[in-house]
Structure 1
């Protein structure tokens, strides 16, 4: 059996139905953790995302990977549901070692390449609520339990490092504000967990081959490179397992407090911890974006994965 450094640890991955959240939960399970995976999509009812992935499937994948997966249907915009979730974790486990705030669901609501007066307010504010309010509500109830034991880990999942987002407009005022805010929340939580030796980080994957992204390109994880014919820069993309392994590496690092308050990427952590993507490579998407894609250079991932 593979080494499981997180045996006995308890994690909550909020927003684990699909994408990065699902694989973060799975990789924490592979490292031996008990993982509470939450979401709104179940086998009996789809969320507004109207996707086939379910929270039950995520729980099964966690258990199959070697952990213990517990799927819980939660709408993280409803404080009472989040409070009940944390009370359940406390009652069943008596501790919480890792909190991952990955709630999102804003992609269908974003209006790209339009000035603010051409962006619908109802969709924009809904996006912000899903991206920001959910994370604050979850942290409000979960951080006291996490702080009960020293050395807890909080991961705020976003899109883009703080350094990148400060210099680049993310093509929609609502999306831009959401991603900047999530990174800032990690800095706020770093103040709230420091007294107990905790660590809070903002973590971004690179170009993520989520289920939705693969569907958009008409490919699967097995033949994803076929999409490079349409978009050559897709060659730098990474599987959701890559950022999942990044979270597992952080959770298993006894010296992780050195990251407290920082904004990091999956590629950056891979260079430090030595994990790879599923294909054995180490894509460094955000460095590639700045040095190759944004300047308009031809796609060439040599030296970047």
Structure 2
């Protein structure tokens, strides 16, 4: 897919690390100009307090073959988002791809009922995971709709099928609401964009080998299979580049409108489009989770790669 997105402009909101960084880099590898936004810079960390920065992401995008542009932006602040979109329009005159990957995983209160969760953290999770997405789309979609074929991707955790069948109790009510909302946001935006030739989808990675997850299990991307502390299910995990390749597959599909308003996963799209993860495998994490892990049935992660 090298060069297929040359001349296209993308905004990845939340590109500092994890899925957002993986998506930004893969869009760059396909030739796109990528504005990667976030709050962690080399001068100042966000409340996430991790070392990854938007400047690092922009450099990786450029190294991959695209043009990476880092922009510090708090997407819960409408004025900052307005200025970001104005900058994109002034510098590029267009926006073809919007990826909303604003989540706030550092705000998680694991395995607690709503009455025991930290209320301030929970409400901030809603602001970052829902309100910030709407603020970003409010300003960005007016520019995106001017180019037929525009694509909006709402990142989530779990497909609509998963959320219909299960309550995500491990993260609690705030987590569950945010992740379900992504499907409705994609549905709303898809309905509104279709008359302008645009497409919106919700997209979930599987078990993501983010920087934080690798750190938790004491491994790197190069030796992730050697963790002595990770559970068996970690064997179905995928790199952030895998979901990035899913976004590129959608963005380069001339018939992408067939997916409008749909809920999709990286593993499913890998089968449809034929791409693989960086190690050449094709993990289908959600099929493994639904068929083996959660129901407690026989099966091995390697059977789903």
Question: Is this a same-fold pair by TM over 0.5?
Answer: yes
Gaps of 5+ in 2: none
SS in 2 for 1:95: coil
The CA deviation at 1:112 is: 2.1
Cα distance between partner residues in 1 of 2:245 and 2:133: 22
With the length of structure 1 as denominator, give the TM-score of the two structures: 0.97
Within the alignment, does 1:255 sit opposite 2:258 as a pair?
no
Gaps of 5+ in 1: none
Within the alignment, does 1:168 sit opposite 2:172 as a pair?
no
Partner of 1:144: 142
| Counterparts of residues 121-200 of structure 1 (less than 5 Å) | 121-171=119-169, 172-200=172-200
Deviations 1:173-224 (A, max 9, x none): 0000010011211111101110011110000000000001111111111111
List, as ranges, runs of 4+ consecutive aligned residues in structure 1 with deviation greater than 6 Å. none
Kept in 2: contact 1:199–1:261 (CA 8 A):
yes
Alignment coverage as a number of residue pairs = 303
The CA deviation at 1:55 is: 0.3
Deviations 1:128-170 (A, max 9, x none): 1111111000000000100011110000000000110121111
TM-align CA RMSD: 1.1
| Counterparts of residues 231-250 of structure 1 (less than 5 Å) | 231-250=231-250
Deviations 1:14-61 (A, max 9, x none): 000000000100000000000000000000000000000000000000
Cα distance between partner residues in 2 of 1:43 and 1:268: 36
Cα distance between partner residues in 2 of 1:301 and 1:242: 17
Within the alignment, does 1:271 sit opposite 2:242 as a pair?
no
Kept in 2: contact 1:232–1:299 (CA 8 A):
no
Kept in 2: contact 1:228–1:235 (CA 8 A):
no
Cα distance between partner residues in 2 of 1:302 and 1:55: 34
Cα distance change of structure 1 residues 89 and 290 upon mapping to structure 2, 3 Å threshold: same
Kept in 1: contact 2:186–2:261 (CA 8 A):
yes
Kept in 1: contact 2:235–2:302 (CA 8 A):
no
Partner of 1:16: 15
Cα distance between partner residues in 1 of 2:294 and 2:115: 27
Cα distance change of structure 1 residues 299 and 218 upon mapping to structure 2, 3 Å threshold: farther
Partner of 2:112: 114
The CA deviation at 1:110 is: 1.8
Cα distance between partner residues in 2 of 1:204 and 1:255: 20
Partner of 1:285: 285
Cα distance between partner residues in 2 of 1:82 and 1:63: 23
With the length of structure 2 as denominator, give the TM-score of the two structures: 0.97
Deviations 1:206-258 (A, max 9, x none): 00000011111111111111237640111000000000000011101110000
